[in-house]
Amino acid sequence: MNRPLIRSLFATLMALVLADAARCELVATQKGSKLKIKGAPESDSIQLDGTGSIGRVLVSQAGVNPQAFLGVFDIEISTGTGNDQVFVNGIEIGGSLVVNTGDGVDQVDIDNTRLDGLAFPVMIGKNVTLRLGGYVGEQVDVDTEDEAGFLIGGNTTIEGASDIDLNGDGTDPNYVVGDILLCGDLRIKVDEALDQNGDAHSIDLDNVVVGGATRLKLSNRNDATGNDFVRIKRSSFVRNFEANLRAGNDELHFDALPSKFGADFVVCGGAGENVVLGAQSITVAGATKFTDVEQ
């Protein structure tokens, strides 16, 4: 084989290798004030860290070689395939956060503390939408630390996770700095339910304040992944609250640490054994309605 042909084949091979390597990298691009992050086909660990400045975000793969972006208003993350992790820590943006995970067992974690241990407020001015793929074992974990503050100005929507934890750091049902403050509506939709973190609950709401309406639409399966175990404690719901338990043997548990409901309180059961525990410990300002549930 002659040398020019060898060099040509080598150049072609290197181009293919480099192209494949580029496809396997985490890609973050900013157009105007919108930051888009696209994961690789394999498993990713996408890290977004705030800096204490509004609109300044650091993006990295598991904290390695972070890229800084300025003037960020909206963030959209698509993880692609693989078992992905998304960590959003102490960011402050005026717009919305959207996370879409693809195939695989994925995890989304939002809190105040960065990988290096520094804590900043979480302030997202508009909506937060977390769409997971509906696979058993997928998790959403939202929590506050160090009383740094946590505020979402618009609606919060969580879909497709089988274990969901919204855990504030407050000490009573009235709003304090350590609570998770959701100014708009809270909507949670579950395809398959299964506790993943060992707290015995598939949905856990602790020290959460919701300014809008709340709707929980739980799993509709007839097997074990249709058994929803929901705990609510030390939380406040300003507008209507509705829990649609649907199929499965479901439990809605109100902890002895009381919660408050400022408008109508509605719980609808479905096929299976549906139980509400601790309803006597809550305060409801509006109408109360239970359908197909035991108390």
pLDDT tens digits, 167-202: 998 877 778 888 999 999 999 999 999 888 889 999
pLDDT, position 29: 97
The boundaries of the domain holding residue 98 are: 3-291
Highest average pLDDT, of 93-97, 255-259, 267-271, comes from 93-97
pLDDT tens digits, 210-259: 999 999 999 998 888 889 999 999 999 999 999 999 999 999 999 888 89
Q: How many folded domains does the chain comprise?
A: 1
Which one, of 86, 87, 59, 85, lies nearest residue 72 by Cα?
59
Task: Please give the structure tokens belonging to residue 261.
Answer: 């409901």
Q: Judge whether residue 3 has pLDDT over 60.
A: no
Q: Judge whether residue 61 has pLDDT over 70.
A: yes
What sign for the dihedral angle of Cα 134, 138, 139, 140? Answer: negative
Q: Judge whether residue 41 has pLDDT over 70.
A: yes
For the segment 52-78, the average pLDDT, to the nearest whole number, is 96
Q: Judge whether residue 17 has pLDDT over 50.
A: no
